[in-house]
Homo-oligomer: A and B are copies of this chain.
Amino acid sequence: MVSASKSEAAESPIRLGMVGGGQGAFIGAVHRIASRIDGEFQLVAGALSSDPKRAQASARELGIDPERSYDSFAAMAEAEARRDDGIEAVAIVTPNHVHFPAAKAFLEAGIHVICDKPLTSTLADAKKLAALVKESGSLFVLTHNYTGYPMVRQAREMVANGTLGTIRLLHVEYPQDWLTTDLERTGQKQASWRTDPVQSGAGGATGDIGTHAYNLARFVSGLELDTLSADLDAFVEGRRVDDNAHIMLRFKAQESEDGRARPAKGMIWASQVAPGNENALKLRIYGDKGGLEWEQEHPNHLWFAPFGEEKRLITRNGAGALDAASRVSRIPAGHPEGYLEGFANIYSEAARAIRAARQGARPDAAVTYPTVTDGLEGVAFVDACVRSAKANAKWVSLDI
C-alpha cells in the first residue's frame, strides 16, 4: 500500500460560483463533487437556474447563502465582482447556448471561468469567446474531463516520448444508447435540450460526445487535423440533430525519424443509438513501434503493445506508470479511481493555475487543462462535420 501521490490543498479554498446546475441537472452535481474532492474550492454563490424559484430552492439545498443566490448570471457577475469576498472563479454548467454570454459576463468582471463543453453552440460565438479570453486577464478552463484521467495522461506522455514511434492510426469511438428512442418527446430534461439545435448547437451526438472524442484524440496524439469526412444521421424519427456520426480523419504530416513526412489517419464514431453502450468512449492509437488502447469504462487500465512483444497492462499508479499519470492519481493501484476523480483533476489543475495567478505567476509546467483554444477547435470540429455531411461527406478543413 503505497502512499497517495496527490497532495491536498494546503491553502484556503478558492471561492467558486456556479451558473446552471439546479435541480434536475446532471453535470452541475458532477462539477460540484469534482470541485470538492481535493478540497480546492468552496461553492459560495450561484445563478443555478433561469427559473428564479428553482434557483433559490437549489441554492438552499446546496447551503449557499440566499443573498448570494442570483436570478441571472449577469446579476451574479456584477454583484460578486463588487464584493471583497466575491467569487474568484465561476463554473458554467448550463445548456450550450448560454456558455458564451455567461462566460463573457464573468470574463469582463475579471472572474476566472471554468466552462463545460462544447465551448459554445455556434462557431461565431466560439471565435468571439476565444478573442475575449485572449484580451482578458482571466483563466479559461474547459472541462473536457476525459483528459483528466491518469491513464490518458500516461498515453499522451508515451506518445510524446516516442514509445509508439511515428503515429499512423488513431481510432476513437464513443457509443452510447440513451437516445435509442425519442426520449426528448417524454420531456426528459437532458434529452430535450441536447436535441434542440438552438440550445445545443448544430451537432447532436457530434457536439455532445463527438467533441469529447475529437478532443481526446488531439490531446493524446498531438496530431493536427488536416481534413475530415463525416456522415451524420438522425436515426430517430423527428429528431432535429444527429444521433450518430461516422467520421474519417486525415491528419497533417508529421516528421518521422527518417525525415520523411507521413500523414496519420483516423476514424471517429460517436453514437447515442447503440444499445448496450452506456458511455463506451474508447481510444486506440498505433505507431510503427507500438500501440495503446484505453477504455473510459475501465479507466485505471491502459493496454500497451510494443510491436513484437507481449501486450502489457499498465495500471494507474502501478508498475510502468509514468509521472504524468501518478501526479494526478490519489490512491494506490488496484483501488479504482473513476469519472469524478478524472473530472476533479481538471478542477485541481485549474486551482493550481488560479493560485499561481493570485501571485501573478504561471502554474508549473506540469499543469495541463483544456483551454478556450481546445474549445474553439471542438466547435469548429462540429461545424466541419455538419458542413461535410451536408456535402455528402466531402473532405473539409476546420474553419479556424
A residues near B (Cβ < 8 Å) are 1-4, 7-13, 24-26, 29-30, 32-33, 36-39, 60-63, 168-169, 171, 176-178, 180-181, 189-190, 194, 229, 231, 233, 235, 237, 244, 246, 248, 250, 260, 262, 265-267, 269, 271, 273-280, 284, 286-291, 293, 296-300, 303-315, 318-320, 330-341, 392-393, 395
> Cβ of A24 and Cβ of B10 under 8 Å apart?
no
The residue among A25, A26, A233, A340 with the most chain B CB atoms within 10 A of its own CB is A340
**A-B residue pairs in contact (CB < 8 Å), sample of 6:** A4-B26, A169-B235, A169-B274, A299-B336, A310-B312, A336-B338
For the complex of A and B, 5 pairs with smallest distance between CB atoms: A276-B305, A278-B334, A279-B334, A338-B338, A336-B338
Q: How far is the CA of A29 from the CA of B336 in the complex (A)?
A: 15
Q: How far is the CA of A365 from the CA of B32 in the complex (A)?
A: 27
**Copies of this chain:** 4
Q: How far is the CA of A320 from the CA of B237 in the complex (A)?
A: 27
Contacts of A30 in B (CB 8 A): 4, 330-331
> Cβ of A393 and Cβ of B229 under 8 Å apart?
yes
Dominant SS among interface residues on chain A: loop
Q: Which of B36, B265, B298, B340 contacts A233 (CB 8 A)?
A: B265
Contacts of A262 in B (CB 8 A): 235
Known interface pairs A229-B229, A262-B235, A335-B338. Does A275 touch B290 (Cβ–Cβ under 8 Å)? yes
> Cβ of A335 and Cβ of B339 under 8 Å apart?
yes
> Cβ of B32 and Cβ of A3 under 8 Å apart?
no
> Cβ of A280 and Cβ of B63 under 8 Å apart?
no
Q: How far is the CA of A334 from the CA of B279 in the complex (A)?
A: 5
> Cβ of B2 and Cβ of A190 under 8 Å apart?
yes
> Cβ of B395 and Cβ of A395 under 8 Å apart?
no
Q: How far is the CA of A7 from the CA of B23 in the complex (A)?
A: 10
Known interface pairs A169-B271, A267-B269, A274-B291. Does A331 touch B335 (Cβ–Cβ under 8 Å)? no
